[in-house]
């Protein structure tokens, strides 16, 4: 096995005295894991930070062997790790992607979307420019893994107009007319989540409430409590940033 590709670092964990096992997302070959010799050294630790872009070369003699990985840094996002809000966003996005995606399955749309959100965080650390795209990345990840939400038509009436809510049970959209009298049992659906575009903070938090609920229920579940804790830290910092 030999693979050379541009990749986004998702995680790096110590292995042995000096090495590290790294998981990275490639555009055409999905998540790839590899062992980096000396990955815990002062030279390589900054290269292997989550959200960095590398050119990786994976080599293994057999398919059952963990490949050896060499990594050449293309783009460092190290400065963002020293700023609490951007750092929380990078931690969550990379942890979510690492936890959710199986290895070696191509997800080119997720690769492009994750690259775009990370670029937005790099360009605007204050969050206004990337919080809505982050919510839409979560929505896309749900869809790519088979848990997409049907936001195009009302599950009760079939209507495609005046959609205003999401059922917390089915993930289906509900029109305002069909929701009358049951609004407190439903999740408000902000327009940007289904259609894109700009969003104000109340809508962004409403969108994150929807995607967070279904990520926890369908993908992360109880076994990923540590990953969900990273999201809780991000949401808390977002609330404090806009308070």
Highest CATH level, class, for 80-242: mainly alpha
Q: What value does the mean pLDDT take over residues 167-172?
A: 94
Under a CB-based contact definition with an 8 Å cutoff, are residues 173 and 155 in contact?
yes
pLDDT digits (tens, 9 = 90+) for 130-164: 999 999 999 999 999 999 999 999 999 999 999 99
Average pLDDT, the chain: 94
Under a CB-based contact definition with an 8 Å cutoff, are residues 110 and 140 in contact?
yes
Q: For the chain, what are the domain ranges?
A: 2-76, 80-242
Supply the pLDDT for residue 229: 92
Q: What value does the mean pLDDT take over residues 175-191?
A: 96
Residue 222 has pLDDT above 80, yes or no: no
Task: Give percent of the chain above pLDDT 70.
Answer: 99
Q: CB-based contacts of 3: which residues, under 8 Å, 6+ apart?
A: 26, 29, 32, 56, 57, 58, 67
Supply the pLDDT for residue 36: 98
Own/partner pairs, 160-163, CB within 8 angstroms, 24+ separation: 163/189, 163/194
Helix-, strand-, coil-residue percentages of the chain, each rounded to 5? 45, 25, 30
Supply the pLDDT for residue 16: 85
Q: What value does the mean pLDDT take over residues 113-130?
A: 92
Give the CA dihedral 159, 160, 165, 170, nearest 10 degrees.
70
Q: CB-based contacts of 76: which residues, under 8 Å, 6+ apart?
A: 46, 47, 49, 52
Under a CB-based contact definition with an 8 Å cutoff, are residues 136 and 122 in contact?
no
> How far is Cα 6 from Cα 9, in angstroms, rounded to an integer?
10
pLDDT digits (tens, 9 = 90+) for 31-73: 999 999 999 999 999 999 999 999 999 999 988 899 999 999 9
Q: Which residue has the tokens 């930070």?
A: 49
Residue 125 has pLDDT above 90, yes or no: no
**CATH number for the domain running over 2-76:** 2.40.50.140
**Model-level pTM?**
0.95
């Amino acid at each position: 096995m030999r693979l050379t590709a541009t990749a986004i670092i998702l995680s790096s964990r110590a292995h042995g005295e000096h090495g590290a096992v790294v998981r990275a997302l490639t555009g055409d070959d999905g998540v790839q894991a590899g062992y980096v010799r000396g990955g815990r050294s002062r030279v390589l630790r900054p290269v292997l930070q989550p959200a960095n872009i590398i050119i990786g070369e994976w080599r293994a003699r057999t398919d059952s062997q963990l490949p050896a990985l060499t990594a050449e840094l293309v783009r460092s996002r190290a400065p963002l790790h020293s700023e609490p809000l951007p750092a929380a966003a990078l931690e969550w996005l990379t942890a979510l992607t690492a936890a959710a995606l199986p290895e070696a399955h191509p997800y080119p749309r997720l690769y492009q979307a994750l690259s775009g959100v990370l670029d937005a965080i790099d360009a605007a650390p204050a969050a206004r420019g990337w919080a809505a795209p982050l919510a839409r990345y979560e929505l896309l990840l749900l869809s790519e893994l088979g848990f997409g939400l049907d936001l195009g038509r009302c599950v009760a009436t079939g209507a495609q107009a005046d959609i205003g809510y999401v059922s917390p049970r089915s993930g289906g959209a509900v029109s305002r007319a069909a929701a009358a009298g049951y609004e407190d049992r439903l999740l408000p659906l902000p327009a940007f989540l289904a259609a894109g575009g700009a969003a104000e903070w109340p809508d962004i938090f409403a969108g994150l409430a929807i995607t967070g609920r279904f990520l926890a229920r369908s993908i992360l579940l109880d076994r990923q409590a540590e990953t969900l804790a990273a999201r809780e830290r991000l949401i808390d910092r977002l609330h404090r940033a806009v308070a």
